[in-house]
Structure 1
Amino acid sequence: MRKSGFQKAAGLLLSLCVMVSLASGCTSSGQGKKQNDKKENSVSASTSSDSRGKGASEAKKKVKIDLVMGDNVVMPEEKDNFINQELDKALHVDLTMSILGGGTDYATALNTRISSGDVPDMFYVPSQQSFQQYADSGLLMSLTPYLDKIQPVVDWAGGKESLTPNTYKGELYRVPKKPGIDNYKIWSIRKDWLDAVKAQIPTTPEEALDVAKRFTFEDPDGNGKKDTYGFAGPGINTFDAIVNSYGGSLKSDIIIKGNEVMASILQPDMKAALEMCKSFVDGGVVDPDLVADDNNSVRDKLIQGMSGMTFYTWAGLYKQIYMDQVLAVNPKAEWVCFNGLEGPHGHKNGTSDIDNVAGRWVISKEIESDEVKRDRIFDLLNYTVSGEGLNLLCYGVEGRHFNIEDGKVVPTELMSRECDYIYVYQICNRDDLTYCETKFPEAKTAIETGFHMDRYHTYNGEVDLPEGLHKSDMDNYISDNMIKFIYGKRPINEYDDFIKELSDSFQFDEYLKAAQTQLKEKEYIK
């Protein structure tokens, strides 16, 4: 194990582990999974080839590279991982991709590993707070001195402008990535249920509530049972699709309005937005498991016909593999998407962060002294944005998973069967719209609906946290109280008291002041 970087920062990272562990144990749903129920899911490749652009002696040396990321994807066995095999042939590497679970499970597992002194060569950042602590502790390598070596990546990500959101205290620590679609959630509704209850696709929150009541109480599936709900989604933030249309959100989002940096939870119609959400709950139309549900459990319920309206990722419903399951349960089921609800503050449904730090990759400081490994990692980064490499990581192996016809990628049947895991290798992202429409042509309407949907834009990723501010604690407190307001456990007329509690106990004022200062320095406002 490599211990030099850890020894300089052991105390700080052990504190971070405790903090993350506590945060994962205090989730609003109470459904946090124990890390010991997760198994590290990793694969590696080991085929020989010449390394591009290297001297003869270096080309003979296969370089081991250890990548770690957070996700719930199931990786194939080593012998079936064609991505590792192809990367090895192209770059002469012995690559290991370890998957440590998603969400707080990943943050806990990563910090446990780092605290033991085993720092991955490259890893996926779980949060802004953890990133800053890694950087401040000296665990991360700055890319600033090596910009000439990763110029293809910089160009791919958007040129010099791509460097600013990845820079911290004057140093480029995060690998630049191409902006993509950071919110796949769209409004979807059962058209056959609408026909059954003689209703239309809703256009406002009030109309959505009326439709939800009909779906809950008028037996839309015609089975003679009261076994349906009008509205479902993965977690309390599903209600953001309503709250956004009132000008706010259910999180500590930083927004810009009228050339002024503001907090979403301080918007004047937040109380009215919460009242509207509460009316859904009070009306008995919300899936009772909404707060605890995740994407997988929601998908299962939509497939089984338990709910008829949702704000949910198109990828979990409109892919052929899931729509086939829907139709297997009910061949007459007809899901359609629509372009959101219009509230007092417009047609914004679902948040979209200008720069989502979580999900960006960083490189261990310990790599810097190993010139061969360091440069091979740069080769890997540049290869992921090359034509050949990008096609591999997006679509699989040419001739097996896709063919090129008239300059376009044409999938074969094997793409949908064998390429579910390959997105984890897309370190610098992809051309999202083209990628999604190519891989999932059956979902084109839903994809375009999500791509063109008017989102509620936030700037959270552009804000470096003030020293001593534990944003995870603040975010948990906000989430817990939003649940209480919406579910009637705390009166909404105490909302102002809640805001004061944030300032008194969680440094909320300091966070907002930091956002205002930093976004002005970065020229987001004049």
Structure 2
Amino acid sequence: MKRKTMKRFVVVLLVISMLAIAGCGSKSTNTEPGNHNVGEPVKIEIMANNYGTNPPQNDFVKKALDEALDTDITLTLGSADYATQLGTRIASGDFPDMFMLGSEELRKYSKMGVLLDMTPYMDQLSGYKEMVDADTIKLGLIDGKQYSLPKPIARKPAGILWIRKDWLDTLGLKVPTTTDELLKVLKAFTENDPDGNKKKDTYGFTGNDLTAFNALFGAYGLTNGGAQFISRDGKAINVLDQPEMKDALELIKQYISSGVVDPDVMSNTVSQLFEKASQGKAGVIYTDWTNIMKDDKVAIWKNANPQADWIALNPVAGPTGVAYDGHSDIGAPSEMFAISKNVEKDPEKLNKIIEMLNYVSTGEGAQLVQFGIKDTHFTETDGKITITDLGQQETNYTFLYQFTGRPNLEYLKVKFPNQVQYIEETFRREFIEALDGFIVPPDGFNKADSDRYITEEFIKFIYNKRPISEYNDFLKTLDSTFNYKLYKESAFEQLAKLGYRQ
């Protein structure tokens, strides 16, 4: 009997010991790489938009992260229809552990109870807070709870006007500085055979969708209607209500009716835009520097025409001297990631995700996801990073692992040394400050439907499918049918609390 009692006692002690060890493990908040329980790697699924880029089969970033963190990271990548793909996963109850989302999804999924409130864990995210400033982090709050982790805001959009300087020289024209001068140049590019092939096969201007005309809206201090609230002299205004919006639409209609705009401008993809530019089908384009001045892009258009000389065009001034290339939403994070509430049930995985977010934010982890493997893809001498030839070839996908962002200007200048002048050119310019990212649409207002209607009617106005004399009727329909008045009232109230009064 004594032997049996002793055996039971020993077994009980072993069980208690094992439970105590497991309990200590589940409460661990140590997020330094390497300081975690030894065992199987922690599986983490992360869903994000790939923006048309996929990791190579030999994914050296995943391998390095997994080795440093004792993880097994799986990237589930969506495409242009990413929001729908994410919605399908959420609706099925098959949640990724961590996923990229936008402001609309943040509000929607937080109300559904899908997202983990990270507020209790923010003190553990020291690396993340080194990368992202406090004001930007607040953009992930819903009702005072940290439901998402925003990346740093890319405050300077890259879209500007580019012009064929060699065509200007051929036709004896000066670089245009106003909207009137630009229209004259575009007419010459369309009608006066700037490429000298004796054919009328060129257009003055091309772009893709309404963003193509950002600089023309900017010549009136306005946006293209995508962003609807802007800061002007420290006050919040709605661009749709401004009388000069009719003038901006009239100007764009004049450009289109003059025959100088690519007929496919509204349907062009970015790749089609570049194809037309590189093949000499247009002499002015509105696009990101990465779509025209990266080394591979330059090689393509130089190969097509060695005389081609694309240069950045300063924003053209409107009738009152106002000139902007476009707008930058100062209230919208570039991207943000949220963690599934289900992860809370797995403390080891949650700790590992926190460890990962800190790791990719600073030191060797940040260098890995920005530049690749040290001494293979980049070298570092006295703090200066230089990308190797292999780095230029193999690191085009590493941004997929930049879950907490990057210091954008510094990163771009290192990553693209041959494009520094264009990067700095973009960052030095002033853009209209849009405020839409600060605004939470009220219940009873469907922003997607409203935005769609605005875009559709703007296209009708500039293509003369609807007279601009009916612009006020358009506003009335927006208020009555789409409840836009409710949205404006709520928006101005929210912006006033941030110091932007009407």
Q: Same fold (TM over 0.5)?
A: yes
Shift of 1:152: 2.3
Letter in 1 for 2:377: H
Counterpart residue number, 1:219: 193
Whether 1:455 aligns to 2:434 is no
Counterpart residue number, 1:294: 269
Counterpart residue number, 1:190: 164
Cα distance in structure 2, aligned partners of 1:394 and 1:163: 21
Q: Return the match for 2:42 from 63, 87, 101.
A: 63
Q: Tell me the TM-score normalized by structure 2.
A: 0.90
Cα distance in structure 1, aligned partners of 2:348 and 2:466: 59
Bigger mean CA offset, 243-252 vs 295-304 = 243-252
Superposition pairs of residues 183-332 of structure 1, within 5 angstroms: 183-251=157-225, 252-332=227-307
Counterpart residue number, 1:476: 452
Counterpart residue number, 1:335: 310
Change (3 A) 1:355 1:428: farther
Shift of 1:345: 5.8
CA contact (8 A) 1:129 1:471 kept: no
Counterpart residue number, 2:474: 498
The SS at the match of 2:474 is helix
CA contact (8 A) 2:34 2:70 kept: no
Superposition pairs of residues 315-464 of structure 1, within 5 angstroms: 315-343=290-318, 344=320, 346-357=322-333, 359-464=335-440
Counterpart residue number, 2:60: 82
Change (3 A) 1:345 1:116: farther
Cα distance in structure 2, aligned partners of 1:429 and 1:293: 29
Shift of 1:358: 6.3
Cα distance in structure 1, aligned partners of 2:407 and 2:192: 44
Q: Return the match for 1:167 from 127, 141, 147.
A: 141
Counterpart residue number, 1:46: none
Cα distance in structure 1, aligned partners of 2:445 and 2:156: 26
Counterpart residue number, 1:96: 74
Change (3 A) 1:271 1:339: same
Bigger mean CA offset, 68-77 vs 294-303 = 68-77
Change (3 A) 1:428 1:182: farther
Cα distance in structure 2, aligned partners of 1:142 and 1:345: 48
Identity fraction in percent: 35
Letter in 2 for 1:99: L
CA contact (8 A) 1:347 1:454 kept: no
Q: Return the match for 1:107 from 53, 78, 83.
A: 83
Cα distance in structure 2, aligned partners of 1:400 and 1:55: 27
Whether 1:137 aligns to 2:112 is yes
Counterpart residue number, 2:22: none
CA contact (8 A) 1:348 1:454 kept: yes
* Count of residue pairs the alignment pairs up: 471
Cα distance in structure 2, aligned partners of 1:253 and 1:487: 21
Shift of 1:443: 1.4
Counterpart residue number, 2:96: 120
Letter in 1 for 2:59: N
Bigger mean CA offset, 487-496 vs 357-366 = 357-366
The SS at the match of 1:308 is strand
CA contact (8 A) 1:188 1:338 kept: yes
Letter in 2 for 1:227: D
Cα distance in structure 2, aligned partners of 1:338 and 1:217: 21
Letter in 2 for 1:293: N
Whether 1:151 aligns to 2:129 is no
CA RMSD of aligned residues (A): 1.8
Cα distance in structure 2, aligned partners of 1:123 and 1:236: 29
Change (3 A) 1:326 1:53: closer
Change (3 A) 1:115 1:333: same
Counterpart residue number, 1:15: none
Shift of 1:459: 1.0
Whether 1:467 aligns to 2:417 is no
Letter in 1 for 2:386: V
Q: Which runs of 5+ in 2 are unaligned?
A: 1-29
Shift of 1:140: 0.6
Shift of 1:187: 1.4
The ranges of structure 1 where at least 4 consecutive aligned residues each deviate by more than 6 angstroms after the TM superposition are: none
Bigger mean CA offset, 339-348 vs 360-369 = 339-348
Counterpart residue number, 1:32: none
Shift of 1:182: 4.9
Letter in 1 for 2:168: L
Change (3 A) 1:53 1:314: closer
Cα distance in structure 2, aligned partners of 1:211 and 1:314: 22
Query: Cα deviations across residues 212-249 of structure 1 (Å, max 9, x unaligned)?
Result: 11111111111111111111111122112111220222
Q: Tell me the TM-score normalized by structure 1.
A: 0.86
Shift of 1:507: 1.8
